[in-house]
Chains A and B, each alone.
Chain A
Amino acid sequence: MKNYLILILKRIIRDFKSRLVILLIALILLLGTIVSINEKTTEEMLSKETYSKYHNRLYQLVKKESYETKKKDIKGIPHIITILHEYNIASEYLSSEEFKTPNTDHTIQAYTADNLSLPKIKYGTNFPDKQGFYMVCPINMYPNSNLSSNNINFKITNKDRIDMQQYLNKTIQFQFENVNNMNIKKESIDIKIVGLYEVNKHSLEDNTCYINESAKKYIYDTLNNDLPSYIEKSNPEAAVIIIDDIKNLEEVESELSKIGYRLDPYTIIDPNFLIETKKINKTYSLILSIICVFLLFLILFKDTKNTLKYNKLLKYLGAKDNHLYLTNLIHNILIILLAFILSLILSFIYRGLLNIIIYFRPFLFSKNEIIFSITYLFKIFITIFISTIIISILNNVYIKYKLNKN
């Protein structure tokens, strides 16, 4: 049987028509991948704890007013935790001699957070109320600025991880670079590590740490004071508020509109976007499946003449009827399996290219920013698979009728 399967496979690969069918279906499946990329990438980003806990509570306060006026205006409005300069939102790279390991640049990425948005603390505490600079880190920290290094041989190795428990409740000096300045100048800040969290699939990355707002403000002010004159400061009047819970958004919005303010979601991803893409993807997968099934139907029945000829030959050579029908079925299933495999390969190449073009990431060895949904491809594939079996059975019934006619 194994040898016979190989023979069927050879017949498929050698047949120009079969190759064409495989390519066509693979390309249609690739289309499925392409349309699913947005959905999957968005979904993945939204699933990050930082996003759901923090970024979706960030709203830009829109009105032509100064930062100070805005600050005064929102006083007393419930559910607003704090107001920040817009520039407070970006993350900072901080490095420390303490974290020196053989293959890393001993740098971490620090996001601003508050106690509501911090990941669950496993060891230590949240940020204390007392004034000071505080930080929360992963338990097993990987101190490298880039987790998908441009080095092809890059791999996160355990010997470069740092067990942060030894640093809990210690104050560590961090350096940050004034990159705006032509002569790169090192600045430093002492931050106390108060808590450790466990990295899971919802976290950002293994180098992600969180600092409190005062630490962030200190870093920002230091950098800003040193800004050369030719660099334009980011709009100092742009303000972002953090609300306590996404549930209270409507209430906050209506209160603010009374005094002439509008809220814009601060993060690029609007959760509504996901719902929209999901809808579009559903329609697409339906259309793609229908095209595939139609194509298979056309091709299989159009090729009946050849199949019949081949089956007749097999019959002369002593093949049993059931064997013929099974052979035809396996032949068709192999075609779509090959198409599926090819579409997977094409999808990976497509994603790799996107990564290079959009993120300048090396092809295979980087942690991909672009995520494509194998499940999505699989769903279309299953539809086509089942259709193939049904079409093959219909085709076999027709062939049986034709074979026994004469």
Chain B
Amino acid sequence: MNNVVLKCQSLKKTYKKKNRKLVILKDINYEFKSGHVYAIVGKSGAGKTTLINILGLLKKQDSGKIFILNNDVSKINENKASEIRNKNIGFVFQSFYLDPLLTTEENIKLPMLLNNSLDKIKINERVKKLLKEVELEDRETHFPKELSGGEQQRVAIARALANNPDIILADEPTGSLDPENEENILNILKSLAKKGKCIIIVTHSKTVREYADIVLELKKGILEEVSRD
């Protein structure tokens, strides 16, 4: 608890578009600790998604360093990045991003199948446990289109937890949900933080700000802690 799981140092990212240089991230420095829920707020176009993707090793920063569990991952190759994504990071999206052709159970299994080291029995046990955690035990053979939005997002959270990662990166996870489902999802994320995960949520929502332990604002390429309201 409370140890630094994700650290960024002087992160910088610019996009070039039609000869115009767009500085999105100017100088990001922050240490994310386990056991906390972080809310990242900021105007649309501020670069929140870009930041999440860089932290999730899907995008390369122009300069600066990222440490995951005290390992410098700034210069690792694509395959190593994939491995870290698979084992240490879970993603949750606004649009849920479930595979429509797979059942709840299979969607949750997917990251485990990409991780060669698990055997079938372990996988099935783990799926059962995760389904219980998100309260979807009786929905395991449903397809995404047979589930409500809130249920789909719970499946997505279970999937993000599949390989028991230390970090959950959630890009507007409640953006498509009604208030009731929003609270439900936030409660789940909050309880995960209590179990020692580091939860990073990009959000516009006031409710999320209230739930978060720490609120960060991304503004003019700088990330700063702000008060909760």
Contact = CB atoms under 8 A, between A and B. Distances in A.
Interface stretch (B78-86, B179-187, B194-202): B78-86
A193 to B, nearest CB: 66
Given A1-B116, A317-B111, A317-B159, A7 B102 contact: yes
A305 to B, nearest CB: 14
Given A14-B101, A310-B99, A313-B97, A7 B85 contact: no
A3 B87 CA distance: 19
Contacts of A7: 102, 106, 109-110, 113
B66 to A, nearest CB: 16
B114 A317 contact: yes
Contacts of A320: 78-79, 82-83
Given A4-B113, A316-B97, A10 B102 contact: yes
Given A15-B101, A310-B99, A316-B85, A321 B78 contact: yes
A323 interface: yes
Nearest to A317: B111
A11 B143 CA distance: 12
A319 interface: yes
Given A316-B58, A321-B82, A10 B114 contact: no
* Interface magnitude class on chain B: 20 to 34
A318 interface: yes
Contacts of B113: 3-4, 7
A87 to B, nearest CB: 67
Nearest to A321: B78
Interface in A11-42: 11, 14-15
Interface residues of A, number: 20
B221 interface: no
B120 interface: yes
A126 to B, nearest CB: 69
Interface string A59-85: 000000000000000000000000000
A314 interface: yes
Nearest to A14: B101
Given A3-B120, A7-B106, A10-B106, A318 B115 contact: yes
A1 B113 CA distance: 7
B47 interface: no
Given A10-B101, A11-B99, A14-B101, A318 B114 contact: yes
Interface in B41-97: 56, 58, 78-79, 82-87, 89, 91, 97
B114 A319 contact: yes
A155 interface: no
Contacts of A402: none
Contact of A323 (B56, B114, B159): B114
A313 B99 contact: yes
29 contacts: A3-B120, A7-B106, A7-B110, A7-B113, A10-B101, A11-B99, A14-B101, A15-B101, A310-B99, A314-B110, A315-B58, A317-B85, A317-B91, A317-B110, A317-B111, A317-B159, A318-B83, A318-B85, A318-B89, A318-B111, A319-B114, A320-B78, A320-B79, A320-B82, A321-B78, A321-B79, A322-B79, A323-B82, A323-B114
Interface of A: 1, 3-4, 7, 10-11, 14-15, 310, 313-323
Given A314-B114, A321-B78, 7 more contacts: A1-B116, A3-B123, A315-B85, A316-B58, A316-B97, A318-B82, A323-B82
